Chains A and B, each alone.
Chain A
Amino acid sequence: MFKEVRHLSSRSCMGRAGRAGAGRFGDVRVTTRHNPPPLLSTDDASRGIGGFAMGSSVPSLFLDPQIRDWVLFPITLVMILVGILRHYVVVLLQSPPKKLTRAAIREQRALVRSNVLRATSSNSPIPFSFYQSISQNLSKAFEAGTYLKDGPPKEGETPTPPNPLSDPAAMDGMMAGMKTQMVMMVPQMIIMGWINFFFEGFVLIKLPFPLTLGFKSMLQRGIQTPDMDVRWVSSLSWYFLNFFGLNGLYRIILGGDEAADAAQNLAASPFAMATPQAGQPQDFNKLLKAERDHLEFAEGLHKWIGDDIETRVLKKYGRL
C-alpha cells in the first residue's frame, strides 16, 4: 500500500526532486513514523486504488508535518511581511497633495454648494424669494461657466473636455496612481514566481468545502493525478487564499486606511487605469450643467418652515 501511494504521487514530483536532490520540499512523503490511522476507511466500498477515498469523508491522504512547517507557515509569513513592506513603500512614495489655486478650489466646491442648497429645500429655513434668488444665481453661473477654473468659455470656442495628458495636475495624479500600481504588482509577481518554482508538485492543504472538477486544473497545477479529490490543493492556491484573506490582518496591524489592500487594488485597477483619478479631470462643465436640472427640481419642492408657523406655535401653546 505504501509503495502504491508512493508510486502514484512521486510521478509528478520526480522531475523536480530528482533534479534538485534531497532536501527540497518537493516530495509528498507519506510517513509511517507516527502509526498513522489506516489510509483507507474500513468501509469496503471505499477501498480503492491506494489512498483515494471514494465518496467517504475520512481523510485519505496523510501529509508530512514538515510540509506544514516548511511551506504553509513560510508562505503566510512572507506574504504578511511583504504586505507590510508594500504599505510603507507606498506611504513613502506618496508626494504631498499639491496646492490648488483659488479658482480650482472654487470649481471643486461648486457642486457641494448646489448640493447644500438643494438639501434644505423641502424644509427650508429661508423664504421662497431668498431661496429663488440664490438658486437662480447659481443656475445662471453654471450655465455661463463662471465657476470653471479657467473661466467661462470664450465666444465661439467649443468647450473641450479636459485632456489628462495636457493638464499637468491630472498627469501628476495619474503618475501617482500608476506608481502605486507598480508597487503592488511587482511583489505579487515575485512571490508567485517563487512559489511556482519552489513549492510545486505537491498538495499542501485540504479545503474544507467541496468543489467541482473544473477547479482541478487551476488548484492542482503541476500534479497529474486525475482521480484525486479536488479538495486537495497545491501551494499556489494557498497563495491565492492568503492574497485575498490577509486584508483583515493588514487592517489590524497597520490600522485602518492602509495601502496594502491588494484585492481592493486589483479590483479597482482596471477602472483606475482607464478613467482619470479622483475626479480631478472631471468634466465640470458637463456636471454643472446637469446640476441645473436638479436645482430647478429642488426649487419646485421648496417649502418654507415659516409659512404657517403662527398657527403651529399658537396651537402648541393652546391658544388656537
Chain B
Amino acid sequence: MAMDLPSALHRLAHYRTHNTRASRQIFEAGAVVFRNDALGKLGDDNWQFFETLALAAVDVGRPDITEECLRHLSAQFPDSPRVQCLEGILKEATESAEVALRYYQALLDADPSNVAAWKRQISVLRRLGRTESAVEELSKFADTFYTDVEAWLELADLYASRNQYTSALQSLSHVLVLAPQNPFYVLQAAETAFTAEDVPLALRFFLMVIDMTDDAETDTPTPAGITVRAWYGVELAAARLEAEPRLGSQSPSNTRSPEHLSKLRKLAQDMIQAAGKSAQGAEAEASSAWLRR
C-alpha cells in the first residue's frame, strides 16, 4: 500500500500512543520513513520508533531489520534492560528456544528482579509446552508482583488450558479483586465457572456482567457487544439449572442458586431475540435457530 511520509508518521504516532500490535502496517510505515530518510523528523521519538519497528519486523519475519534497529538502540543505550529484552526476543525468533532460555536465565542471574526478562522466560516456557515450569515461574512472578493483572490472567489461562478450572477460578478471583470494574474479566470468570460445572456461580457472574454493562435505562433497547454474550450465558445457565436442579445445590463454591429461573430465562430469550433482530442476515437466523433448540 502506497503511503506518503506524513501519513506514515501519523500512523506511527497513533500506534505508539495506543500500543497496538499492527505489525505489517508499522513495518510498511517504517519502510517509508527510511526511504525518505526522515529519521530526523521523529525527534526524540526515534528510539521508541526503533523499538516498535524491531518488534514489528520480528512479527513480519524480517530479523535482519530487527538486528539493524538493535544495533542503533544498543549504541545509544548500552546495558539497558529494555534493549536486552529486545535482543532476547530476536534470539527467540532466530535461534532455538534453549538458547533464548539460557540468555534470559543469564539476565535473571545478574538481576533477579528484571521484570521483562522474567516475563519472556515464562512465555518461552509456555511456548515450549513445559507448562509445569511455566506455571511454577508464573506463580512465583504473580506472588512477587501481585498487582500485575496480566500475570494473573495468563496464569488463569494456563490452568484452564490444562483443565484445572478450580485453580483458574482462583487466579481469576485475584484478577477480579485487582480490577473489579472490568466486565470482560467477570465474563471470563463466568465462562470458566460454567465449564467447571459450577452453574449457579456462572449464572451469577453472567448477571453481574449484565448489571455492569448496560446503562441506566430500564426499557433497554437492544443489547450490544459483550452484553449479548452475557445474555447467551444467562440463557444457557438458567436452562441447565432448570433441567438439572441437583446442580443448584452442589455448587463447589457454595453459591446459592438464583431464584426466578424461568423469569430470567424468558428475559434472556427476549434480549437475545432483540439483539438478533438488530443483526443482519445470517446472524439473525442463527440466533433464532439457537433459541428454538
Residues of A near any B CB (own CB < 8 A): 99-102, 105-106, 109, 112-113, 116-117, 120, 123-131, 133-134, 305-307, 309-314, 316-320
Contacts and interface: CB of A to CB of B under 8 A. Distances in A.
- Size class of B's contact patch? 35 or more
8 contacts: A106-B143, A109-B144, A129-B254, A130-B169, A306-B208, A309-B207, A310-B203, A316-B218
A317 B146 contact: no
A316 B256 CA distance: 21
A99 B208 contact: no
Interface stretch (B48-56, B66-74, B261-269): B261-269
Contacts of A131: 173
B170 A133 contact: yes
B170 A130 contact: yes
B266 A319 contact: yes
B180 A120 contact: yes
B255 interface: yes
A253 B112 CA distance: 40
B141 to A, nearest CB: 9
Nearest to A317: B267
Contacts of B256: 307
B61 interface: no
Given A116-B147, A120-B177, 12 more contacts: A105-B144, A106-B143, A116-B177, A126-B176, A127-B254, A130-B173, A312-B211, A313-B211, A314-B264, A314-B267, A319-B266, A320-B263
A99 B113 contact: yes
B260 A129 contact: no
A126 B177 contact: yes
Contact of A125 (B140, B146, B208): B208
Contacts, number: 102
B186 interface: yes
Contacts of B255: 127, 129, 306
Contacts of A105: 113, 144-145
Nearest to B234: A313
Contacts of B6: none
Given A313-B210, A314-B264, A125 B112 contact: no
Given A106-B144, A109-B145, A312-B211, A127 B113 contact: no
A306 B207 CA distance: 8
A311 B207 CA distance: 10
Contact of B260 (A99, A112, A320): A320
Contact of B219 (A306, A318, A320): A318
Nearest to A309: B207
Nearest to A312: B211
A117 B177 contact: yes
Interface in B125-182: 140, 143-147, 169-170, 173-174, 176-178, 180
Contacts of A102: 112-113, 140, 144
Nearest to A318: B218
B204 interface: yes
Contacts of A117: 177
Given A127-B255, A130-B169, A319-B263, A310 B207 contact: yes
A105 B118 CA distance: 14
Contacts of B232: none
Contacts of B283: none
B8 interface: no
B2 to A, nearest CB: 44
A131 B173 CA distance: 8
Contacts of A101: 112-113
A123 B212 CA distance: 13
Interface string B80-97: 000000000000000000
Contact of A134 (B112, B147, B174): B174
